[in-house]
Chains A and B, each alone.
Chain A
């Protein structure tokens, strides 16, 4: 069976569930608390985005006035959050049937879809304008690209159509270090592109590890994630392949003389652990190592960027 026809069946099966769930919690809006609006911004995703943006900013040559640096970080956070709110507006039907997302404000009926869309649009436009007027227009343009990529390319185009959704869509999460860098320099160079490549290649093993043990959820919602469309075996193989590609890329800043020996050494060890877990996922038939990979991959990315930050702070960076 071709991928396309299989995806069609997955979507059809998912649509029946979506139609039933849709409208059950989506029509009435009880009085929302401020925390509900904050939840629309996907704060956990936002925190990693802000951190990687901060690292891009610190690594960039030159300096930025602290007020403008805080402004840039705020714009990155709000812009990323705003695209999350628009994503929740568009995916309200999917969120209502997936156990991982059922407690979000729209499926719970605490915020209406229209409110979420308005909230997301105002914050998107506002964050880009403030970044452009306050910091510079190159950073603002990349922020706009990030928001547009997440909303139009990932959410609206790829997510419900192809198992490559998070591969291509992963670019949206990889832009923040470039925004941080551009906020300081007004342009881009090799290091921010490498940071982009690291997050881009990290995204597939991270999300496929989650999708492995949540594939029932995705199938019910009609989202053609790789385990749903191509099966567990192929997903485990792809996680290993992408991990094998990821580790050399994480070492490239050191190999090219753009990071110091602390980063190079620690990244080699952390990468070996990453590969070890990926290999265990490939060999296993249960979900234990996949669950472990999901948690470790977040720590892994955080540590890689923290190492770059530490090297710059200690003056050890290249």
Chain B
């Protein structure tokens, strides 16, 4: 596999991982706020 293509795939994986981690931060923050507020 050409080096360039491999680079692109790795970059796409890193971006996807960053998006997932950020989404988890938002999710856990939201869950915490809702549970602490007793609004469930």
Residue A30 is within 8 A (CB to CB) of chain B in the complex:
yes
Report the minimum CB–CB distance from B36 to chain A (whole Å): 12
B12 adjacent to A65 (CB under 8 Å): no
B34 adjacent to A31 (CB under 8 Å): no
Q: Interface size for chain B: under 10, 10 to 19, 20 to 34, or 35 or more residues?
A: 10 to 19
Most chain B CB neighbours (cut-off 10 Å) among A32, A37, A65, A130: A65
With the chains together, A206 CA to B21 CA distance in Å? 38
Q: CB-nearest residue of chain B relative to A63? A: B40
Supposing A65-B39, A68-B40, A134-B35 touch, asked if A31 and B9 sit within 8 A by C-beta, the answer is yes
Contact of A134 among B10, B12, B13, B31 (CB under 8 A): B31
With the chains together, A31 CA to B16 CA distance in Å? 14
**Number of residues of chain A lying within 8 A (CB) of chain B:** 15
B27 adjacent to A34 (CB under 8 Å): no
Chain B residues closer than 8 Å to A130, beta-carbon distance: 27, 31
With the chains together, A234 CA to B20 CA distance in Å? 48
With the chains together, A30 CA to B31 CA distance in Å? 37
With the chains together, A30 CA to B1 CA distance in Å? 8
Q: CB-nearest residue of chain B relative to A126? A: B24
Residue A33 is within 8 A (CB to CB) of chain B in the complex:
yes
Contact of B40 among A30, A65, A74 (CB under 8 A): A65
Residue A64 is within 8 A (CB to CB) of chain B in the complex:
yes
Chain A residues closer than 8 Å to B12, beta-carbon distance: 33-34
With the chains together, A64 CA to B39 CA distance in Å? 9
With the chains together, A33 CA to B12 CA distance in Å? 7
Q: CB-nearest residue of chain B relative to A134? A: B31
With the chains together, A228 CA to B13 CA distance in Å? 41
Supposing A64-B40, A65-B39, A68-B40 touch, asked if A31 and B31 sit within 8 A by C-beta, the answer is no
* B2-28 with Cβ < 8 A to chain A: 5-6, 9-10, 12-13, 15-16, 27
Chain B residues closer than 8 Å to A65, beta-carbon distance: 34, 39-40
A71 adjacent to B9 (CB under 8 Å): no
Report the minimum CB–CB distance from B27 to chain A (whole Å): 7
Chain B residues closer than 8 Å to A64, beta-carbon distance: 40
With the chains together, A65 CA to B33 CA distance in Å? 11
Most chain B CB neighbours (cut-off 10 Å) among A30, A31, A68: A31
Supposing A65-B34, A67-B30, A71-B27 touch, asked if A34 and B40 sit within 8 A by C-beta, the answer is no
Show the binding face of A for B, using Cβ within 8 Å.
Answer: 30-34, 37, 64-65, 67-68, 71, 74, 130, 133-134
Task: Please name 12 pairs of A and B residues whose Cβ atoms are closer than 8 Å in the assembled complex, sorted by A.
Answer: A31-B13, A33-B9, A33-B13, A34-B12, A34-B13, A65-B39, A67-B30, A67-B33, A68-B31, A71-B27, A130-B27, A133-B31
